[in-house]
Structures are given as C-alpha cells and as structure tokens.
Amino acid sequence: MYTEDTIAAIATPPGIGGVGIIRVSGTRCFEIVGSVFKAQGTVPLEKRPNRTIQYGHIIDPQKQDEILDEVLVLIMKGPKSFTAEDVIEVQCHGGIIVVREILKLLLRQGARLAEPGEFTKRAFLNGRIDLTQAEAVIDIIEAKSEQSLAVAVKQLDGTLAGMIRTIREQLIELISHLEVAIDYPEEDIEELTMDETADKLRPILAKINQLLATANRGRLLRDGIMTAIVGRPNAGKSSLMNALLRENRAIVTDIPGTTRDSIEEAITIEGIPVRLIDTAGIRETDDIVEKLGVDRAKEYLDKAQIVVCVIDASEPMTAEEEAILREASHKNTIVFLNKADKGAVITADTVAQYGQFAAIAPISAANGEGMDVLADAVKELVYGGTVQNESSAMLSNVRHITLMEQAKSQIEQSLNNIESGLPVDFIVTDVRTAWEQLGDITGDSLRESLVDELFSRFCLGK
C-alpha cells in the first residue's frame, strides 16, 4: 500500500568509505532534515534554491545541539526528483557509525525507515518511470558486464516501454473498432471485416516475434553464460580455471580427485558475462564425498550452455574420457587438448570420432596458451560470431518474456479463431487479453500485490 509519509534510508553500501549518503523522500522531507541541519544564515531549507548543495552540520537537538558530523545537503524539490516528491540527500563522512547515527536521528524526528526498493517504487507510483524502467534500475545495479549494462540502460531510457506501448495502442484501436460494431449494431458504422482484422493483427504479431527473438541473447547478457569445465581427474581443469581467471583460485596438485566440489567464478569475455564452473573430475570412486562431487559435475555437464571438456592429450584416452566425450557431444562443447606441448598422444581426429563438437583445440592450461577458442565460442553463442553494441530494445527479464509469450499466444489464438469463422466476441476477448498482458509489462495494468513483490527485490535506499 502506497503511503504519503516521509521515508529515509542509507543509500551507500555498508562499510568505511569516503562518503556516506542518507536519502530522504516525502512531504515532511524539509521539516525533518531541517530540524537537525544547521547551516549559515536563517533561510529554512525549503526556501533555499532547488538543485543546490548546502554546507552545514547535523546536530542532535536532544543533546543541546551537539554536532554529529559536518555534511553537505543536496536539495531536490518535487516533482523534478527521482521519486517525484521532495527529496534530500545528506552526504556525510563514510564511516559505519556516523551514517547509522544520522539515520537514527532522522527516524527519531519523524521519518520512517524505507522498505527495500521503496524510493524506486514511489518513482513508479508517482508516474515518473514505468515498470520496465524500474526493473532496469536493479538490472543496472546487478550488471555483470559492459554488454549487460548496455541492455539495462536501454531499458531504463524507455525504449522497450515505448515499443510495447505502440503495440498496445494498435491493439486498443482494433478493440475499439470491433466493440463499437458489437455494442451499436444499429448505427451506421463501417465495420471491419474479419480479413481486415487479421491484416491488422499480423503486423502486430510480427513485432512481438521480433522482440521475442531478442530474448535468448538478452537472458545470456543479463544472467551470464553457464560454462562448465569437465573432464577426468588430473586432466588440467583447475589449471584452466586459474588461467582464465588469471589467479590461483582452484587448488592444483598431481593427486587425482583434488577438486571434490564445484567452484564457480564470474568472468567477462568480450564484454559478455560468463559463469565459469570448475567441476570435480568424473570417474568411478568409492569415496562418498568425491562421488557427490562427480554427480554434481554430471549435472552441470547436462545443464551448462557451454561445456569445456578438458582432455589430457599427453596420455592415451581413458574409458572415462570416452564416456564424457559421448555425453558432451550433444551439447555446445569445446574440447581442449591439454598438455599438447608435452607430446600429443590424442589428436583432434581422435576426438572427432566421438561426436560433433563446437571446436577442438590444443592448449597448455599451465601457461595459458590457446584460450581464444573459448572467447570465439562465447561470441558465437550470443551473437553468432560477432560482438555487437546493443542499440535497440531487448527482452532480458523473465517476467517480460513470459508475458510477451502469453500475448503472442492470445494473438495467434485470435487469428486461428478468425480462420475458424468464430464470432467477433471471441476475437475481442483474445485481443483484449493480449493488450492487458502487455500492460502488465509496463505496469499500465498491474495488481498491487505484484508491484509489492517486484520492488521487494531491491536493496535498501534505492
């Protein structure tokens, strides 16, 4: 439930830093901050110029105006602020205690501690941003690479919402034509034929399909590509992981079974986020703990978007490696022939007998040679081989994709009903449902409970 009280929260991450920021928004913003802020002159905060920074001190009225900290106060009067309300940001020194004490002081003076995401929620409820832009805020905060940031920024600037609203306008215009003919049959109104209705729906369906075509790429850029490194024990998986990370993240020894659990790290390749997972060596074992690690490695092999299979090329092929290659051949798999510099016993021709692979390449994980093949595979998966700068809207949010697919289904149903000769009432029902589902994406038609759920994902102070 939206309330018009005044909220406050710390907007900077916890810990010691140069500056700490406490954000305040609401109708009593100037009154509450003004009661603890002492600056030169007698002009009250609300009378001071908008979009200015005021220098002064935070004082505690209950301790004879004892100075708590030297601060800067940023004034942003509504509706031209982030929340479209009066907003003040108190910029103090970035210690843990001082930021917390200033917040406690503001709460004591009448502010309420903001809920997670409440500042952005107020911006949405006050009409400054739509729901796609609100969700873009958290995507920007959580962006894992330059490309995922670019997708989120494009969503924040309203490009996606604009495209969806254009589709909704075309749908509501069509609905209006059809409903007038239903509600006022006696009026001399030119009716749309079913063929004309279908002709209007097909371009709309094409636009929806065009947006849905970006969904896979958008999800990969937003969430990262799950890349599992698999192979038998001691093949060089952990050495490869360390070479890609350029640090000794995984323990490397000559003892088989050293890695008993999966290690996950995030890296960026060509601006694309990659979730790199070093798995336990796959082999038959009686060790209970190692067996659990092997089972988990097989799970990652099954669900990974890219599989990197590491083979020790300096030794003859083992039964474990043959089984791994056969299983991995059904995936988007790169086979790295490790330790090839020591004298290759296994070649690319040997590996090719076990199935189709995205690439087979000799490498030396110990000195980092031959890693470019992985970068090529990542680019191929996301862009078809060439990295692009995102210049148009893209679907990356699961909620958006699901609703867009549902709207597509409704329009396809409408076209099927037209072809089947069903009455116009059926067509209107399906088209209106699609219009409402697209409105759920932008927040133009949305339940309050879902709004609360969406904004609960945000951090405090945002």
Q: Which residues carry a binding-site annotation?
A: 23, 89, 128, 234-239, 253-259, 278-281, 338-341, 462
Binding-site positions for Mg(2+): 238, 259
CA torsion angle for 284, 288, 293, 299 (degrees, to 10)?
Answer: 70
Given its phi and psi angles, is residue 64 left (phi above 0), alpha (psi -120 to 50 degrees) or beta?
A: left
The values of phi and psi at residue 171, to 5°, are -70, -45
Residues 48 and 122: beta-carbon distance below 8 Å = no
| Side chain identity at residue 73, one-letter code | V
CA angle 411, 416, 417 (to 5 degrees): 95
Helix (H, G, I), strand (E, B) or coil at 372: helix
Residues in binding site for GTP: 234-239, 253-259, 278-281, 338-341
Q: Under a CB-based contact definition with an 8 Å cutoff, are residues 281 and 233 in contact?
A: yes
Edge-to-edge strand order for the sheet containing 66-76? 37-39, 53-60, 66-76, 87-94, 17-25, 7-10, 112-113
Strand (E) or helix (H) holding 351: helix 348-352
Q: How far apart are CA 57 and CA 50, in angstroms?
A: 19
Contacts of 216 (CB under 8 A, 6+ apart): none
Q: At what angle do helices 131-141 and 118-125 cross, to 10 degrees?
A: 160
| Cα–Cα distance, 106 to 129 (Å, whole number) | 27
Contact between 6 and 111 (Cβ < 8 Å): yes
Element (H, E) at 76: strand 66-76
Task: Output the known binding site for (6S)-5-formyl-5,6,7,8-tetrahydrofolate.
Answer: 23, 89, 128, 462
Separation between Cα atoms, residue 421 and residue 94, nearest integer Å: 69
Instruction: Give the β-pairing of 306-312 and 333-338.
Output: parallel
SS3 category, 462: coil
Residues at the binding site for K(+) are 234, 253, 255, 258
What's the rounded Cα separation, in Å, for the pair 147 and 150? 5
Q: Which two tokens stand for residue 42?
A: 């007698």
Instruction: Answer positive or negative: Cα dihedral of 15, 18, 24, 29.
Output: positive
Q: Report CA dihedral (444, 446, 450, 456) to the nearest 10 degrees.
A: 20
